[in-house]
Amino acid sequence: MKGYKDAKSEGSSAPAIRCLGVKKYFQAVHAVDGVDLEVMSGECFGLLGPNGAGKTTLVEILEGLTPVDAGTVEVLGYLWGTGDDHALRDRIAVQLQETQLADKLTVEETLRLFRSFFSRGHTVDQIIALGNLEEKRRERVHKLSGGTKQRLALACALVSDPELLFLDEPTTGLDPQARAKVWEAVEGFKLAGGTVMLTTHYMEEAARLCNRVAIMDHGRFLAVGTPAELVASLGIREIIEFRLNGEVAPVLFTSLPGVKSVERKNEAYVLKAVSIDAMLPALLSVIESQQARLEHLITRQVTLEDVFMSMTGGALNDER
């Protein structure tokens, strides 16, 4: 783990990634349409957005795989294409969406091969332990389950003990258990001081792993901040949903303390509020005064998903 510490002490003041006015068009599609971004060393930064938002294109630009149409991209203090891309690739690691590793090689052989490309890193034994792959060591790739394949892909990225790790939808399509294992590995890397840039369309993933998140749609950043900041930016903290036996005019709820909006969704009422401390007792008394009876009530805290929906008008997992 010593590599991480060196990297951190060297670059803790400088940003690991710095982008200015990055644009990438594919014919008429504005995949990335003017993005500014700064990711600090040791930070885990998440790109949150639906499919087709431009997350992958942006990440591949940062990885030096896709050239930009406009703007500048600086990674670990180096601009892609200015002489020594090779040296930069030695310091970063990448996990692409949907890469299929060679079917006929075993887990160990695959890791050996990837390790051989880098000038430094873990031994194969270390990385097998790190990726929790001991049991599958001699198994051929095509026999692995989806979760194990994903862990192997992550291990291939971590094999060089990189300073900066790019993960493009690392847990898409995995069951909750497999997802948790991937998260543990990423958290281990963060803990050791590594910088992470990840894309996801899972809100829980972003909330759990990321220090800061950018919400991206149609090639643009709609908002950037810590998950808490983004949630706070909505101006509400709680969502209360309830059903009544009896009719009460929604307008009667709008004046309750802390309530920002009231909606009628089929049978149910949906209130968005700053807090529920003062509001809930007041709500109950209004219901009582209208001779209605509360049948069902749920309160939940606002999440990144709500932030996303309020900004884009669509859900994160919507297919485009």
Partner 1 sequence: MKDKIMHPLIELTIARFKETVREPEVLFWVFVFPILLAVALGIAFRERSEDKLRIAIETSPRSVEISKLLLMDKDIEPVVLDAKEAGEQLRKGKVDLIIGPDKDVGPQEGETFPNKLVFSYDQTRPNSEIARMASQDAIERGLGRKDMVSISDNRVVTPGSRYIDFLIPGLIGMNLMGSGMWGVGFGVVLARTRKLLKRLAATPMRRSHYLLGFMLSRMIFLVPEVAVLVVLGWIIFNVKVFGSIPDLVIVSVLGSMTFAGLGLLVAARSKTIEAASGWMNFIMMPMYILSGSFFSYERFPAFAIPIIRALPLTALNDALRAVMSDGRPLYSIWLELTVLTAWWVISFGVALKTFKWQ
Q: Which residues bind partner 1 (CB under 8 A)?
A: 63-65, 86-87, 89-90, 94, 96, 98-102, 104-105, 109, 112-119, 123-125, 140, 156
Contact criterion met (CB below 8 Å) for 306 and 256: no
Tokens of 177: 């258990």
Instruction: Looking at 92-249, list the stretches that DSSP marks H as alpha helix, in order from N- to C-terminal side.
Output: 107-116, 124-130, 146-158, 176-191, 203-209, 227-233
Relative to beta strand 293-301, strand 238-245 is antiparallel
Residue 165 dihedral angles phi and psi, to the nearest 5°: -120, 125
Task: Pick between residue 172 and residue 310 the one whose CB is nearest to partner 1.
Answer: 172
Contact criterion met (CB below 8 Å) for 238 and 273: yes
Least Å distance, CB 98 to partner 1, is 6
Contact criterion met (CB below 8 Å) for 36 and 124: no
Task: Pick between residue 32 and residue 273 the one whose CB is nearest to partner 1.
Answer: 32
Task: Pick between residue 94 and residue 174 the one whose CB is nearest to partner 1.
Answer: 94
Least Å distance, CB 216 to partner 1, is 21
Least Å distance, CB 40 to partner 1, is 22
Least Å distance, CB 104 to partner 1, is 4
Task: Pick between residue 75 and residue 279 the one whose CB is nearest to partner 1.
Answer: 75
In angstroms and rounded to an integer, the radius of gyration of the C-alpha atoms of the chain is 23
Cβ count within 10 A of residue 168: 22
Task: Pick between residue 17 and residue 279 the one whose CB is nearest to partner 1.
Answer: 17
Task: Pick between residue 81 and residue 281 the one whose CB is nearest to partner 1.
Answer: 81
Contact criterion met (CB below 8 Å) for 299 and 237: no
Q: Which amino acid is residue 198, in one-letter code?
A: L
Task: Pick between residue 196 and residue 279 the one whose CB is nearest to partner 1.
Answer: 196
Least Å distance, CB 193 to partner 1, is 21
Least Å distance, CB 189 to partner 1, is 17
DSSP 249-301: -THHHHTSTTEEEEEEETTEEEEEES-STTHHHHHHHHHHHTT-EEEEEEEEE
Relative to beta strand 259-265, strand 268-273 is antiparallel
Least Å distance, CB 63 to partner 1, is 5
